Amino acid sequence: MAVTETLPDCIFCRIAGGGTGTPLVAESEHAVAFRDLHPQAPTHVLVVPRRHLAALREVEAGDAVLVADALGLAVEVARREGILDGGYRVLTNDGADAGQTVPHLHFHVLGGRPLHVPLG
Ligand code: DGP
């Protein structure tokens, strides 16, 4: 488990800590959810662990509760957004080739339109 809990210069740590005024659409013990600044679908919410982990590669066995909590929050977001029955996508980008731009683990929750298109 990483020693660092939050980073003062990390935008997602600051949002999770309430320091930016970004409205949360949902939250849980270990994660917060807020709308993506550049939505790619009618619903595009980011689920972000409160604790700073740079990306999926930093998740360790001791983080199982954190990850389960975050994914559970993603399902709750889908339910609240009304996209659970129609279907939705949860994804995380890890590293430059995947297009990760914010180095704090986050899960995109996307839905509200057909998503069964080739991954870009
Ligand atoms: P990724 O490419 O997987 O690292 O996705 C990062 C996403 O985070 C990107 O879609 C835009 C979003 N984002 C970046 N900065 C902010 C911010 O300050 N507020 C919000 N709401 N979203 C942000």
Q: Report the run of H or E that residue 89 belongs to, with start and end.
A: strand 88-91
What pLDDT digit, counting tens, does each position of 91-116 carry? 999 999 999 999 999 999 999 999 98
Residue 38 Cβ contacting ligand 1 at under 6 Å: yes
In order of start, what are the domains of the chain with their CATH numbers? Answer: 11-111 (3.30.428.10)
Instruction: Supply the pLDDT for residue 116.
Output: 84
CB neighbours of 115 closer than 8 A, spacing ≥ 6? Answer: 41, 87, 88, 89
pLDDT tens, 7-43?
Answer: 999 999 999 999 999 999 999 999 999 999 999 999 9
β-bridge mates for residue 35, sequence order: 45
Q: Which atom of ligand 1 is nearest to the CA of 100?
A: 4
User: Do residues 15 and 37 lie in contact, with contact meaning Cβ atoms separated by under 8 Å?
Assistant: no
Going from the Cα of 31 to the center of ligand 1, the distance in angstroms, rounded, reads 15
pLDDT band at 118 (very low <50, low <70, confident <90, very high): low
Which residues carry out catalysis?
A: 106
Query: Does residue 1 surpass a pLDDT of 90?
Result: no
For residues 113 and 120, what is the distance between their CA atoms, to the nearest angstrom?
A: 16
